[in-house]
Structure 1
């Protein structure tokens, strides 16, 4: 019998501290940085983002999202036999955030590891979990994207600090007799590593380099739109589908301009694009599962519908996944 994997539950979580553009602009003004709600909205489509408290790590955000996904799937934590966490802001250098989340869930023994592909991380993690379920090495996987990007922002650089926020999203992926994850297409090209990076490290207990996010916004935009289009079309071809067969596009919630440009290239009408970036900004690996959960819970995405998810991130990494809910 052919084994497939299927999303049976979604969950998400945003920390309670919601910071709108006016509040952020006032805070930045104290640092001598000038910006405004109008400036941010016109360039990004973002109206607000959420920041976690200082003592709240990625695993804690992931725990809330995972718990909600498990509830939606009708599963207990003990049913999980694989945990993959996509994050670029881990709790520690090691162990992995996935093992910390595993312990918080009260689960012991199953494989748990992190995937680091920045904003493409959830696409990568879902692809890996799907492959492991199809291979028979797991039956019920928890795939989480969790980030506290506020920790790595330079609040004197208005071109980046207004873009990002904290949050988590999760899905339960189960072995199924019917297709769920239909195809995926993932890539990376390290030649472009410098256009989006955090060029810092730790040596002898000291920070070497700069531990804050650096981005060449124009270079990212030009690269992202073309690569997302190619990955989406490749994933659809692998699934034997046409663009008109897709019910919903759930893009990485990076910037409304990138999302709109990608949708136009794919000829996906605006009413079939899930947009949540306005309320939580770019949450990196968490953004796609956050948006997916939002659309499922508000009744946009229905069981049986086909969803195209896609993302790009530092590395440079990119990819797309086609699922039937």
Structure 2
């Protein structure tokens, strides 16, 4: 990476999410009053604790009468949020539109003096949003596949602010504490055995459940990881660099935002359009992996 985007001190996740949401509503050509669900996905801090950014976005849009809630699943939250919104729309004949918003201000979570947190130096800030419309004629969301490996759950965390680690001057970095990586060498050793296998596995299973083959895949959009890891993922699927889009060089890794951010870029550049099969794939601390194919009609 060469640079990353960092939000201003007075620029917060809900505000970035509102801006992305307004653009998504405008592009979709709908009225905010048509939105039945708002799903907010963020791996990092909200503007406040015990507070709803989804409700803040609802009020800002004037999406009166809809249901707004939050989803947390590490950097996989955006992918999961899309699947939850899809399921809720299909299960209720009275619902037709959902808004999924991903917004992150992760840069405040990084302690640049902590050598063990080197792998976190790439995290940045940003927002993306999408409208899901039941019966949409231009694309279809296909099967969603996910898996979690909980053995490393305590390896990546903010140790302060929870019930086990009340906020203290010694532990409070940024607005709510820095992310710590316990035993990074041990974490790398464990993940080296499962990370790539699970990442490739969920992509293969999602395509299989959707009745598609790897040969049908036109574009793979991942959460932004280091180049060597992405090379391994592509190699494991027998795909080339022409089958993906990266944004880490200029934007860093924006947590839940990466997938929708690059899907928007792909659509603008004509890489995701009629006749194309795109897979949104992601991983998140916990650790969780997921994949969802999108078929453009």
- TM-score range for the pair, normalised by the shorter chain length: 0.7 to 0.9
Residue of structure 2 in register with 1:175 after alignment: 134
Q: Render the CA deviation track for 1:157-176: whole Å, top value 9, x for unaligned.
A: 35145211001111111101
**Secondary structure of the corresponding residue to residue 141 of structure 1:** strand
User: Is the 8 Å Cα contact of residues 147 and 198 (structure 2) preserved in structure 1?
Assistant: no
Q: Render the CA deviation track for 1:303-323: whole Å, top value 9, x for unaligned.
A: 341111111111111111111
The structure that is strand-richer by fraction is 1
1:305–1:228 Cα change, 3 Å: same
Residue of structure 2 in register with 1:69 after alignment: 24
Q: Distance in 2 between matches of 1:303 and 1:173?
A: 17
| Count of residue pairs brought into register by the alignment | 280
Q: TM-score, normalised by structure 1?
A: 0.80
Q: Render the CA deviation track for 1:253-300: whole Å, top value 9, x for unaligned.
A: 122222221111111221011111111111000111111111111222
2:145 counterpart of 1:185:
yes
Deviates more, 1:199-208 or 1:122-131: 199-208
- Structure 1 residue 251 displacement after superposition: 0.7
2:223 counterpart of 1:252:
yes
1:235–1:161 Cα change, 3 Å: closer
Q: Distance in 2 between matches of 1:161 and 1:306?
A: 31
User: Is the 8 Å Cα contact of residues 144 and 170 (structure 1) preserved in structure 2?
Assistant: yes
Residue of structure 2 in register with 1:150 after alignment: 107
Residue of structure 2 in register with 1:305 after alignment: 276
User: Is the 8 Å Cα contact of residues 84 and 114 (structure 1) preserved in structure 2?
Assistant: yes
Q: TM-score, normalised by structure 2?
A: 0.87
Unaligned runs of 5+ in 2: none
2:7 counterpart of 1:52:
yes
Q: Runs in 1 of length 4+ with deviation above 4 angstroms?
A: 202-206, 219-222
1:236-275 alignment, distance < 5 Å: 236-275=207-246
1:147–1:177 Cα change, 3 Å: closer
Provide the aligned C-alpha RMSD in A. 2.1
User: Which residue, out of 116, 125, 128, partners 1:166?
Assistant: 125
Deviates more, 1:238-247 or 1:101-110: 101-110
